[in-house]
Each structure stands twice: as C-alpha cells, then as structure tokens.
A and B are shown apart, each in its own frame.
Chain A
C-alpha cells in the first residue's frame, strides 16, 4: 500500500495545480464563476399569460408570440445572457442577470402595448374609458363590411421619436394600408373633435400628466403624430410599438429584483465568511490534532480550491444560499478527518506505530464516514427536487448542489489526500514523537 504513495501524491499535486489554474485562468472557456441573480443583481420574473380568450389549440402559438415580443423588448436593454422560457402551459420565465432596471422599464416589458383611439360619447351611450376630459368609446369605422376599432395594431413597425421646431417631443407613426383606410374614415367623421388615446384601459398621459387627446384638424390617411409625451415615455412607447404587441395580457406571478450593488456586496461578504471560516477550522484542527491537524488543513485548502474549480467548470450557478452550502461544507469536510484522527489516537493508545495506526484508523473510520454522509446526500437530492419544482428555485437548488459537491469532494480529500500526506511521515523521526499527534498522548 505505502509503496503506491508517491504516484498518488503526484496525482494529488497535479489535481491541485489543475484546480488552481482553473480558478485563475479561463479554462475551457469559463472566464469567471457564474453568479446567481442574488449575487450579481438582476431580475427573475414569472409571468402568466391570460389565455382565456385564445381559441383552444392555439395556445402554443400564442405563447411563442408572447416570448418573441418579450425577447424583442429585452434586446435593447443589452443583457448578456437573458433567459426567456415557457414554463408549463401559460407561464413565462424571464431572467435578466446583472441588469439594473427602473420600475417603469420593468413594467414596459409586460405591457400589452396597444394604443387605442377613442371618441367622446353622447350622454346616453355606454363609455369604455373615463377621464377628466370626458367619457370615451373606441373610435371605429366600417371597412370591408366589418366594424373595426382604430388602434396601434395598424401601425407600421417604424414608429420613432422626433422633436418639432419648438423642441416638443413627437411620437411619429405610420398607418399600414388597412389602418390608413380606417383612419381616413374616423378622422373625416371627427373633424374638430378630440381623439382620445388610451393604453391598457388608462388614458395616455403627457409630461404634464394631462390626458392626451388632440383635436382632429384634417383627415389623416397615412401618418400621424402624438404630441406632449415626455422623452422617456415616447422612447419607451416607440420601442414597444416596434417590438410588437403582446397578443394577450400578462400577470406577474413572481418578481425578484436585486440591485447589482447589493449583489456585489454579498459576494465580498460571503468570501470573507468563507475565508474566516476556513481559518477558524484550520486553527482548531491544528491546535487539537497537531501534525495531523496541519495535514488536514492542507487537505482543506486543497478541498476549497478543488470545489471552487468544480463550481467554475461545471458551471454551478452560485447563489447566496449556495455559498452558504459551500461554507457549511467546509465545516463538515473535516468531519471525516476528525473521525479518522480520533480512531488513530485510539490506535496509538493501544501502542501501534504510526503506519499501522494510520491504516487501521482509516479503515475503521471508513464505514462511519460513508454512513454519516448518506443522510446528507439524501437531503441534498430531496432539496434539489424541491428546488426544481418551484418558482423560487435558485436558493434551494444552489444550496443542495453546492453541499452535495462539497460533501462528495470532502470524502475524497479527507480520505485520499490526508492519508497520503500522513503516510509521508511514516518511518521518519517526527512519527516517533507522539506529542506531535496529540498533546495528551506524550504525557502518558
């Protein structure tokens, strides 16, 4: 057994070198650790599409349309790795890591983006909208024998923002062919009357917070403009109109938004906790177990680098809870060493030499190490399932995965690495000095 020690040591050193270089250099195209939303900031949202009005059998197509539109709206935000995914029948998961976004921009992602034009109603008529300017109903016209409402559905996708010579913001749009005919009918009927503009059941409001309702001065057949919007609102609106209209309305089921500043802070603090945790554990091991403690500490450094390298290479998405799992696994990683060293001490007490004590200690402790890690593996597997079955998945899955990897690697480092390092001392002078192995043994 002991003769095989040198090759094993070489393999361990090679693995250590590999782990360190994987952490420092972008190996296999992995530039950096993949951080979860809570650590780099960003957005995790789940929407539910209202498919109640959709014809049976067409849901899948509608959902594809929704995903395409959301994708178009996200593109200009410049997110590096956006996730837009259908979940189940009617849900859409949107993950925008690293993005800092205002509430307004966030709201725009899920707005239907349909501008509807309205005319004032007579006193006895039913109104669809009401605002301080009056009561309104959709402005409609009959073309091809069908009554249709005038909406942004007939805009060409080339809406843009401009300023007039007084510097006022204009949102300029162009009607498509059908829209042109509709607009011609509507505007010729409403000459000298106001045309209200509504979005999502609300009046479209200008910078001065007044409803926008221009008075029709001439018949409009090809293009029009909306005045009075703020620059932000006009820009956002034009982007949305060009990205396309959502075919159905979306409801937010789940929203988690973290500012990137907060995330960066968490990384620093977790690293600090990890480093201090490792140092405390190493100090304890060295004070209590002396020379084997020093070797266990070396094994712990190896453990930390190997686990982090695995996280980076797989890659495991690190969340705050995942880092917690990693830090926790540092404390648990030495458990196998503790079991072995305690056994070794007992073997020493019965008068065995170091070599024999190492081998018996490791062999006897093995069943306890194996058994005692099984429950942790069971729990990790169940937590991983729980994480994959719920919307707020990241923390639970992150914890389960990092703890699992941590405990699995710790079995390897505690058994193989520590044993190999200990064997180096067999037959050397320090091996005969019992006090190096336990403060109590020497005094006996």
Chain B
C-alpha cells in the first residue's frame, strides 16, 4: 500500500520551501493592494491602433501620472491604474491619450475614494476575523468526538494557515512581477479556499476517527496512512473537478476574474496538498513526539543528541 505518512518530512520540506520563498517575497516586496482597499481610479481603455505599453507608460508619466500602473490585457486594450481621478482629470487624461495614440474607448472606469477604501478594508478585516472564528468554532465542534480533539483541531488550523501563506506568498511574487493586486475578490477567493480546504481535512480526519474506532491497526501511523489512502481518490477527484472548472473560468473569462481564479487555483492545490500531506502527517508527528526532528538539522547541541 502507498505510504504517504512515511515520507512526511519530505512533504514538510516541500511546503517549507514554498512558504519560505513566499515569506521572503512578502518581506521584500510586500503585497500590492487594489483600489478597493487603497483608493484610486482604474480604467480599461481600448485603442483602435496598436499601442506600445512602454510608450503608454511614458506618456502617462509625462502627464504627471508617473506612478500609474499599466497592464496590457488584449490587442489594443490596456488597464490603467492611477490615484483618484476627478471627472475633469479623467477627461483631460483621455483627451491627452487620444491626441497621442489615436481614438480610444473607455470600457470600464472604477474609482474609489479614501473614505470608502478605509471602510472596505476595515470590513474585509472584520469578515476575515469572523470567518477565522467561525471556522475555529466549526473545527472545535467537528473534532470534539475525536480522541484528542485539540491535536486534530490544531493540525487542521496549521493546514489552513499553510494554504493562506502559500496564496499570499504567490500573490506577493505576482504583485512584484506583474502588479497583481490584493482586491476584494482575492479576499473572497481566499475565504472560499479556506472553507474548502478545511472540508478536505475534515473528511480525512473523519476517516481516521472511523478507523481508530474500528481498531484497524495498533500502530497510529499505519491507521493514519490507511485512512489517507482510502480517502485519497476522493480528495484528488474532488480537487480535480474543481480545478477543471476554475481553469475553464481562468481561460475563458480572462483578465477581469483572473485574480479570483488564480487564488482559487493556488488555494485548491495548496489545500489538497495540505489535507493529504501536512495535516495527517502532523498528527503522526505529534502522536510520536517527533517535533525535535524539525530542528535536528540546526546546530543546537541539545536537540542534536535526540
């Protein structure tokens, strides 16, 4: 039988590396916030003629929008983000761009004032906090029947933090490289993913509980591994069908929903990985008191002797 638990420290290492890269990027580049959270204006314009992104950026800089973020989203289509524009500023900007690059149509304009941005950021923060509490309560309830509810709950929460860190890390890198932003849809996506990932973990843990009750094996490690393998095809299949539809969204709907689709994509992959490779393995580590192995490679004499 496939032995996943046996390779637990290799799986931890994979996650560790991904998260470490993410954290380095978060510390170095931070995150880029969308205008819902940081205020400003953005517009999608469509030029009839071919326009070079560099030229457009240069022209914006010469018009006093040196900080403008420009993204090329299609043939003559560009996405431009600036500080908050008033009606007059916007008309002047569009006239200037039309004079330089030829006729343009504005397909979308979006402007958020600092007051609204503050409110949105505050409420999104509250929502994330309530979601965290709600999920904690749910986990406490779901695991109260388990033999060591605290162990199961903690491992599920570590898996959840793992998924969030991976998504944040990837978005920090995407933000630094491609100016991808943390917007409302990102928050929505990440909450959906967290709910989804906890589900997967719960299903695996549920099977562990069932097998413990049945007394499948006296060895906890074997019981966990059996449960994992038994639920493996379910975990993978469910993730796969969800990934299929997310990919369809990403490929066919495109730029407007891309942040959302990508956070779902990353979250589902990370969530599947953590519910298979991280959460159950951590249970085994805890049960066997192997925490020392995480720091064994450090030059610490006290733990090295283990």
Contacts and interface: CB of A to CB of B under 8 A. Distances in A.
A392 B253 contact: no
Given A321-B260, A372-B202, A390 B123 contact: yes
Contacts of B245: 273, 277-278, 280-281, 327-328, 330-331
The size class of the interface chain A forms with chain B is 35 or more
A334 interface: yes
A386 B123 contact: yes
Interface in A54-113: 103-104, 106-107
Interface stretch (B2-10, B21-29, B111-119): B111-119
B108 A259 contact: yes
Contacts of B260: 321, 324
A251 B112 CA distance: 12
Nearest to B111: A255
A164 B134 CA distance: 71
A57 to B, nearest CB: 24
Nearest to B199: A372
Contacts of B256: 38, 266, 320
B116 A276 contact: no
B185 A321 contact: yes
A272 B253 CA distance: 8
A321 B123 CA distance: 19
B61 to A, nearest CB: 23
Contacts of B94: 103
Contacts of A385: 127, 130
A376 B243 CA distance: 17
Contact of B120 (A258, A288, A324, A390): A390
A395 interface: yes
Q: Helix, strand, loop or mixed for chain B's interface?
A: helix
A104 B90 CA distance: 11
A229 to B, nearest CB: 18
Given A103-B87, A272-B252, A396-B184, A374 B138 contact: yes
Given A254-B111, A256-B109, A392-B36, A338 B234 contact: yes
A254 B249 contact: no
A278 B123 CA distance: 34
B142 A371 contact: yes
Nearest to A386: B127
Given A262-B44, A331-B244, A396-B188, A273 B249 contact: yes
A109 to B, nearest CB: 10
Contacts of A383: 127, 188, 191-192
A30 B245 CA distance: 28
Given A331-B243, A382-B134, A385-B127, A253 B115 contact: yes
A224 to B, nearest CB: 28
Given A280-B245, A390-B184, 14 more contacts: A103-B90, A256-B111, A259-B106, A274-B248, A280-B248, A288-B237, A321-B185, A324-B261, A328-B242, A339-B203, A368-B203, A371-B199, A386-B126, A392-B36
Q: Sorted from nearest, which 3 A-B pairs have the closest CB atoms?
A: A331-B242, A277-B245, A331-B245
